[in-house]
Structure 1
Amino acid sequence: MDAQVLIVGAGPTGLTLAIDLGLRGVRAIVIEQKDAPQFLPKMERCNARTMEIYRRMGIAEQVRAAGLPAHCPMDIFVVLSLVEPPLVHHVHPSVAEAKAQIARSQDGGQPLEPY
């Protein structure tokens, strides 16, 4: 194996790093302790900085297309049971609403991409 970089972990961060390095001409090898992809995802959304990296790589819209519709609320609920009221409810705008807020702000303090 001839590589300049060894990446440990084939999760979203490791795979993104491998793709980014490859686009820059850096040879990388990714190693992963699990022998197959996991059935359940380990995250519910990408943060704004991750989406900015995906935008730079030219894949932000593909990532969004694989997720929830743009107008779907991104609220977070903390629950003990699916039949009881939530302990906590954090209201978050949909991706479409967040993009509109970013476009309106125009102060340079917002990310280029929402979650």
Structure 2
Amino acid sequence: MPTVGIEDLADGDFLLDVREDDEWQAGHAAGALHIPLSEFVARYGELAEAAPQDARVHVLCRVGGRSAQVTMYLVQQGVDAVNVDGGMQEWAAAGRPVVDDKGAPGHVL
């Protein structure tokens, strides 16, 4: 499965967060698209609308398990997708900004 580390992400990379609503509201990467794993197949069209054409999709969850499932699904659909190793826990540990659903500083559940 294609995987990247937090250190490989650049500002402006397209991020897809597949955690559940309560996790998202507590803290997420600013600018990420949120589609929970539990709703992903039904809401797949939102990804096509939001992602820049030919952009790599960097998939995040809390630690990497749920995002791995979505990454595999996307790759099977022909999407250039990679799983972000360590997920939001590594994102926060690396000092990357985490915001809540109101844009204030957040935390990872």
User: How would you bin the TM-score normalised by the shorter chain?
Assistant: under 0.3
Tell which has more relative contact order, 1 or 2 (C-alpha 8 A, sep 6+).
Answer: 2
- TM-score normalised by the chain length of structure 1: 0.25
Q: Which has the greater radius of gyration? A: 1
TM-score normalized by the length of structure 2: 0.26
